[in-house]
Amino acid sequence: MTRKTLPPLRVEDPAQFGKVAVLMGGWSAERDISLKTGAAVLAALKARGVDAHAVDPKDGFQRVLLDGGFDRAWIALHGRGGEDGTVQGALEFLSIPYTGSGVLGSAIGMDKVRTKQAFVAAGLKTPAYAVLKVDDPVGAAVEHIGLPMAVKPAHEGSSIGMTRVDDASLLAAAVAKAREFDRTVLLEEWIDGPEYTVGILEDVALPLIRIETPRTFYDYEAKYFSGDTQYHCPSGLPPALEDEYALASLAAFHAVGARCWGRVDFMVSDDDEPLFLEVNTLPGMTQTSLVPMAAARIGCDFAELAWRILETSMIDKGASST
């Protein structure tokens, strides 16, 4: 059975955290969403008495962190430069504790190809895929994967640069679109089954959320701006099957070296097998985001969730940064 009870709080006095930098913004394609996440987290921490301050890495954060006397960082960055191990490595170099996964887990989680390889090595199922590098031809992929397929940049989040391809004549344009964001492109078997997401906090799998969108897929617009996306939590799954999916999601989370908190996304095949898509080591954290939605189901409101994630900065990331 999955454990739906969070461990006891490590920190009860906000002064124990010291001065906290909420890193938000950055320079990735997901900057706008990061600013929303950061603003929500900053407000929640301040409401709980934490000495928290907004810091944008785009403004030269290393000098700001050192001169400002910050004791730890709540990473609210999405995408490259913040979610891929880069900032995590810089913070370790500066000896500043930070929230979430370490360097290795962050780097693998941001790389969709390496993530899939980790899933397969751990005995987990993932949709069939092919990888296109800069000069690779696109024709053989249709024969290998079939249609329809998803075409996406290998190192972006929030479905940025992603296209569903139903006709082989449209594949080259979809690959060109993905290459606007990344030199490496992932081609992936399209799964029409239901989509689920599992929030994870300190090795607790939060209640599953089933996602329904009338759009072609759960794209950037559906994630952040559309009012027509439906989120089902409880998911409607039989308890035993939800437990099975939750445990498999924890295995997927650990397979990439992620730790502390994050989110795992998967589709379900016709035979009820979970097909894992990706691990998000820094999911969105606004009042309408998925991890806060799931946490609320077990009585953890947004402010407490932000606090508990800040507590993960107290966890030693270890020499391997996993």
Q: Which residue has the higher pLDDT, 183 or 114?
A: 114
Q: Is the pLDDT score of 137 beyond 80? A: no
Q: Would you say residue 5 lies in a domain?
A: no
Q: Are residues 159 and 206 in the same domain?
A: no
- Give mean pLDDT, residues 297-303: 95
Q: Are residues 153 and 210 in the same domain?
A: no
Q: Are residues 200 and 279 in the same domain?
A: yes
Residue 158 a catalytic site member:
yes
Q: What percent of the chain has pLDDT over 90?
A: 62
Of 144, 162, 189, the domain-final residue: 189
Residue 114 a catalytic site member:
no
Catalytic residue among 34, 101, 106, 280: 280
Of 141, 167, 189, the domain-final residue: 189
Q: What is the pLDDT of residue 158?
A: 55
Catalytic residue among 72, 259, 263, 308: 263
Q: What is the pLDDT of residue 220?
A: 46
Q: Are residues 89 and 203 in the same domain?
A: no
Q: Are residues 42 and 95 in the same domain?
A: yes
Q: Would you say residue 3 lies in a domain?
A: no
Q: Would you say residue 77 lies in a domain?
A: yes
**For the purposes of burial, counting CB atoms within 10 Å of the CB of 139, is it exposed (0-12), middle (13-18) or buried (19 or more)?**
exposed
Q: Is the pLDDT score of 139 beyond 80? A: no
Q: Would you say residue 6 lies in a domain?
A: no
Q: Are residues 26 and 141 in the same domain?
A: no
| CA–CA dist 55, 58 (Å, integer) | 9
Q: Is the pLDDT score of 314 beyond 50? A: yes
Q: Are residues 295 and 210 in the same domain?
A: yes
Counted residue by residue, the chain has a size of 322
Q: Is the pLDDT score of 38 beyond 60? A: yes
| CA–CA dist 294, 274 (Å, integer) | 19
Catalytic residue among 28, 30, 129, 259: 30
| CA–CA dist 267, 220 (Å, integer) | 18
pLDDT tens-place string over residues 194-230: 999 999 998 899 999 999 876 554 444 544 455 568 8
CA distances from 305 to 103, 177, 308 (A): 22, 36, 5
Q: What is the pTM of this model?
A: 0.89
**CATH number for the domain that contains residue 179:** 3.30.1490.20
Domain around 139: 129-189
| CA–CA dist 284, 296 (Å, integer) | 15
Q: What is the pLDDT of residue 322?
A: 43
pLDDT tens-place string over residues 39-65: 999 999 999 999 999 999 988 888 899
Q: Are residues 226 and 244 in the same domain?
A: yes
| CA–CA dist 194, 3 (Å, integer) | 24
Q: Would you say residue 321 lies in a domain?
A: no
Catalytic residue among 224, 257, 259, 321: 224
Q: Are residues 20 and 76 in the same domain?
A: yes
**CATH number for the domain that contains residue 38:** 3.40.50.20
Q: What is the pLDDT of residue 214?
A: 61
Residue 280 a catalytic site member:
yes
Q: Would you say residue 136 lies in a domain?
A: yes
Q: Would you say residue 322 lies in a domain?
A: no
Tokens of 91: 């913070």
At 161, the pLDDT band (50, 70, 90 cuts) reads confident
* Tally of domains within the chain: 3
Q: Are residues 69 and 51 in the same domain?
A: yes
Closest by CA position to 52, among listed 81, 31, 77, 23: 23
At 1, the pLDDT band (50, 70, 90 cuts) reads very low
CB under 8 Å to 65, separation ≥6 — which residues?
A: 21, 55, 73, 91, 94, 96
Residue 224 a catalytic site member:
yes
pLDDT tens-place string over residues 167-176: 888 888 998 8
Angle at 92 between CA 90 and CA 97, to 5 degrees: 115
Catalytic residue among 56, 84, 156, 265: 265
Q: Are residues 228 and 292 in the same domain?
A: yes
The secondary structure of 55-78 as a DSSP string is: E-GGGTHHHHHHHHT--EEEE---
Q: Is the pLDDT score of 2 beyond 60? A: no
pLDDT tens-place string over residues 227-283: 568 899 999 999 999 999 999 999 999 999 999 999 999 999 888 999 999 999 999
Catalytic residue among 34, 101, 106, 158: 158
Catalytic residue among 56, 278, 313, 321: 278
Q: Are residues 278 and 139 in the same domain?
A: no
**CATH number for the domain that contains residue 115:** 3.30.470.20
Work out whether strand 72-75 and strand 19-23 pair parallel, antiparallel, or are unpaired: parallel
The secondary structure of 152-171 as a DSSP string is: EETT--TTTT-EEE-SGGGH
Q: Would you say residue 230 lies in a domain?
A: yes
Average model confidence (pLDDT) across the chain: 88
Residue 321 a catalytic site member:
no
Of 189, 205, 233, the domain-final residue: 189
Q: Is the pLDDT score of 151 beyond 80? A: yes
